[in-house]
């Protein structure tokens, strides 16, 4: 958590969202760029690196492991790769902060090293399930101890000597897939990961860009140990998940017309566009192009009235981080919106089904919870007080909700917004939202 960020916001209806904005770099890509740069040969230059607490924590972990990382300016990193076998063990615990991605991917990478390591995290991360990586990694020969119920800290025993396996991931999770692929770099033989529901493929794309032979398709990845990674320049696209708050806000606030530039449009990330368009949103993709091997586009979002839908379960993994924002859209839509097949929301930075349901109810919206989703009845939002439970995306979603509320909304426990979206308040107020510390 950052010291500079206050713990509460007061949000209220502002003006229509207008102008042109750019949101910070993609969190998933930033984590992976540091990780692969660290174990590559040569110097990796990262542009558009997310200056969030999560990704900075990952960079700090690699510094502890002996990797020199320079930060010549905000959003820039120069990673002096030490090669696949060049990381150095440390006695100190490696602190992943709030980042599930950091901890789970590091578990895969560190299980393959010659030295022992310990991964710790903040109060939220210390409650998140790690068996999903511990168990499949164990089938490769990894030895990882956890607290009861598979909770952090993780004590990883080095020198295990991994062997490749063929696995189907137990849950739709790019973090689990990526952990296995990172372990697979060091394993004997072939590592094959299959997924019932395809998830984001940044690890696969980036491994390939760093020169590692890898075969992949939606729901499938295969690689062999024993190659090398060669440093590249990584140009990180803007994070679709951060753009999502502005996409929803501009859709909901009458009179809005907002251009969001250079947004990462990896198809495994953009399920929210599909859902919002089915609800009646007006979102145009302009200037589609490639940036750093990823599709990007400028998104022109105009206000449009929404109606409720049943969100297709098949697109849940493609919008897994966008449900807090989607819940807000649903609360402002005409009729009911049903979310199902999304039990993973219960083990994110907070239980996002419970936290969103409680928050929306506090603002006068009817929400029925289900184990794997919710039924949200669109209505008129009132003012009130919200506890974001230290979850960055919950805090930002209620800042959006407040733009439509009949009174002020106080949002508590917002410091963790800095984990993924430094500068959110300035960008949001500049675009038209009313939000103050
Ligand atoms: C991420 C994968 C997703 C997502 C998280 C980032 C990644 O988590 O929610 O914000 O970078 O691999 P799961 O893999 O647990 O679904």
pLDDT digits (tens, 9 = 90+) for 250-260: 999 999 999 99
**Mean pLDDT along residues 432-436:** 97
Return the ∠ at Cα 349 (arms to 346 and 353), rounded to 5°. 30
State residue 1's pLDDT score.
40
Q: How confident is the model at residue 5 (pLDDT cuts 50, 70, 90)?
A: very low
pLDDT digit string, tens, across residues 62-72? 999 999 999 99
Asked if 227 and 276 sit in the same domain, the reply is no
Ligand 1: centre distance to CA 364 (Å):
31
Give the pLDDT of residue 261: 98
Is residue 159 domain-shared with residue 96, that is, in the same domain?
A: yes
Q: What is the CATH number of the domain that holds 192?
A: 3.65.10.10
Same domain, 184 and 287: no
pLDDT tens readout for residues 72-115: 999 999 999 999 999 999 999 999 999 999 999 999 999 999 99
Cβ 86 vs Cβ 125: under 8 Å:
no
Spatial distance between the Cα atoms of 389 and 350, rounded to a whole number of angstroms: 7
Examine residue 212 and state whether it is found in any structural domain, yes or no: yes
Whether 1 is in a domain gets the answer no
What integer pLDDT is reported at residue 4 of this predicted model?
A: 45
Atom of ligand 1 nearest to the CA of 177: 14
Going by alpha carbons, the residue nearest to atom 9 of ligand 1 is: 321
- Whether 3 has a pLDDT exceeding 70, the answer reads no
Burial of residue 341 (CB within 10 Å: 0-12, 13-18, 19+) is middle
This prediction's pTM: 0.97
pLDDT for res 293: 85
The reply to whether 368 falls in a domain is yes
Q: How far apart are CA 195 and CA 303, in angstroms?
A: 37
Dihedrals phi, psi of 276, to nearest 5 degrees: -65, -40
Does pLDDT of 171 surpass 50? yes
Position 157 pLDDT exceeds 50: yes
- Domain assignment present for residue 3? The answer is no
| Residue of minimum CA distance from atom 5 in ligand 1 | 101
In terms of DSSP H, where are the helices of 293-346?
323-331
Binding residues for 3-phosphoshikimate, by number, are 27-28, 32, 173, 175, 321, 348
Q: In the prediction, which pLDDT does 97 show?
A: 98
User: Does 160 map to a domain?
Assistant: yes
Do 281 and 310 fall within a single domain?
yes
Quote the CA–CA distance of 94 and 62 in Å, as a whole number.
9
Which residues belong to the annotated binding site?
27-28, 32, 100, 128, 173, 175, 321, 348, 352, 393
CA distance 338 to 408: 27
Q: Domain end: 235, 251, 270, which one? A: 235
Cα–Cα distance for residue pair 146/130, rounded to 1 Å = 8
Mean pLDDT, the chain, as a whole number? Answer: 97
Instruction: Please report, rounded to a whole number, the percentage of residues in the chain having pLDDT higher than 70.
Output: 99
Is 256 a domain residue?
yes
Could you tell me if 81 and 97 lie in one domain? Answer: yes
What range defines the domain where residue 345 resides? Answer: 8-25+237-436
Domains of the chain: total: 2
Q: What integer pLDDT is reported at residue 218 of this predicted model?
A: 97
Ligand 1 pocket test, candidate residues 175, 264, 346, most atoms within 8 A of CB: 175
Lining residues, ligand 1, CB within 6 Å: 28, 100-101, 173-175, 178, 200, 320-321, 344
Minimal-distance CA residue to ligand 1 atom 11: 28
Q: Is residue 413 part of a domain?
A: yes
Q: In this predicted model, what pLDDT tens digit does every residue of 309-366 receive, in sequence order?
A: 999 999 999 999 999 999 999 999 999 999 999 999 999 999 999 999 999 999 999 9
Q: Are both 224 and 350 inside the same structural domain?
A: no
Please tell me the residue having the least CA distance from ligand 1 atom 15. 173
What does the alpha-carbon distance between residue 273 and residue 434 come to, in Å, rounded to a whole number? 25
Domain boundary among 235, 268, 284: 235
Annotated binding-site residues for phosphoenolpyruvate read 27, 100, 128, 175, 352, 393
DSSP H or E stretch at residue 397: helix 392-402
Q: Give yes or no: residues 327 and 431 share one domain.
A: yes
Task: State mean pLDDT over 372-393.
Answer: 98
Atom of ligand 1 nearest to the CA of 321: 9
Tokens of 189: 């033989």
10 Å CB burial of residue 188 (0-12, 13-18, 19+) is: middle
Task: Looking at the CA of residue 31, tell me the nearest atom of ligand 1.
Answer: 11
pLDDT tens per residue across span 277-321: 999 999 999 999 998 889 999 999 999 999 999 999 999 999 999
Count helices and strands in the chain by DSSP H and E runs: 12, 23
pLDDT value of residue 292: 81
Q: Are 274 and 315 in contact (CB under 8 A)?
A: yes
DSSP result, 119-182: EE--TTGGGS--HHHHHHHHHTT-EEEEEGGGEEEEEEES----B--EEE-SSS-HHHHHHHHH
Indicate the residue among 235, 256, 276 that finishes a domain. Answer: 235
Catalytic positions: 321
Do both 18 and 32 map to the same domain? Answer: no
Are 185 and 312 members of one domain? no
Is residue 15 scored above 80 in pLDDT?
yes
Question: How much is the pLDDT for 278?
Answer: 98
Residue 109 shares a structural domain with residue 242:
no
> What would the pLDDT profile of 105-137 be if each residue is shown by its tens digit?
999 999 999 999 999 999 999 999 999 999 999
The atom of ligand 1 lying closest to the CA of 132 is: 15
Residue closest by Cα to atom 13 of ligand 1: 173
Q: Are 252 and 223 in a shared domain?
A: no
Q: Is the separation of the CB atoms in 129 and 85 below 8 Å?
A: no
List the structure tokens of 184: 């697979």
Mean pLDDT, residues 390-415: 98
Q: Does 165 reside within a domain?
A: yes
Answer yes or no: do 91 and 225 share one domain. yes
């Amino acid at each position: 958590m950052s010291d500079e960020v206050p713990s509460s916001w007061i949000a209220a209806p502002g003006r229509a969202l207008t102008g042109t904005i750019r949101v910070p770099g993609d969190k998933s890509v930033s984590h992976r760029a540091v990780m692969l740069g660290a174990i590559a040969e040569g110097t990796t230059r990262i542009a558009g690196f997310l200056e969030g607490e999560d990704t900075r924590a990952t960079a700090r972990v690699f510094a502890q492991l002996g990797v020199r990382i320079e930060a010549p300016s905000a959003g820039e990193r120069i990673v002096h790769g030490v090669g696949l076998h060049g990381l150095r063990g440390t006695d100190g615990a490696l602190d992943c902060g709030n980042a599930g991605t950091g901890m789970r991917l590091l578990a895969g990478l560190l299980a393959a090293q010659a030295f022992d390591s310990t991964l710790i995290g903040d109060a939220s991360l210390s409650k998140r399930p790690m068996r999903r990586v511990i168990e499949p990694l164990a089938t490769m020969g990894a030895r990882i101890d956890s607290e009861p119920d598979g909770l952090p800290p993780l004590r990883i025993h080095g020198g295990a000597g991994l062997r490749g396996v063929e696995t189907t991931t137990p849950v739709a999770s790019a973090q689990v897939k990526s952990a296995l692929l990172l372990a697979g770099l060091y394993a004997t033989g072939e590592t094959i990961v299959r997924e019932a529901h395809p998830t984001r493929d940044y690890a696969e794309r980036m491994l390939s860009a760093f020169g590692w032979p890898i075969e992949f398709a939606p729901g499938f990845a295969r690689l062999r140990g024993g190659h090398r990674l060669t440093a590249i320049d990584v140009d990180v696209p803007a994070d679709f998940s951060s753009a999502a708050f502005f996409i929803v806000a501009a859709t909901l606030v009458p009179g809005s017309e907002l251009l969001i530039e250079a947004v990462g449009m990896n198809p495994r990330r953009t399920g929210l566009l599909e859902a919002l368009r089915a609800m009646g949103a007006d979102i145009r993709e302009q200037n589609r192009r490639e940036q750093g091997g990823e599709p990007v586009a400028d998104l022109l979002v105009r206000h449009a009235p929404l109606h409720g839908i049943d969100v297709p379960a098949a697109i849940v993994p493609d919008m897994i981080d966008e449900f807090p924002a989607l819940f807000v859209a649903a609360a402002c839509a005409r009729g009911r919106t049903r979310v199902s097949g999304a039990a993973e929301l219960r083990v994110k930075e907070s239980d996002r089904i419970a936290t969103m349901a409680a928050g929306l109810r506090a603002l006068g919206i009817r929400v029925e919870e289900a184990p794997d989703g919710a039924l949200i009845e669109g209505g008129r939002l009132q003012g009130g007080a919200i506890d974001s439970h230290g979850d960055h995306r919950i805090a930002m979603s209620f800042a959006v909700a407040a733009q439509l509320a009949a009174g002020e909304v106080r949002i508590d426990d917002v410091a963790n917004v800095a984990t993924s979206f430094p500068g959110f308040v300035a960008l949001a107020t500049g675009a038209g939202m009313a939000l103050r510390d």
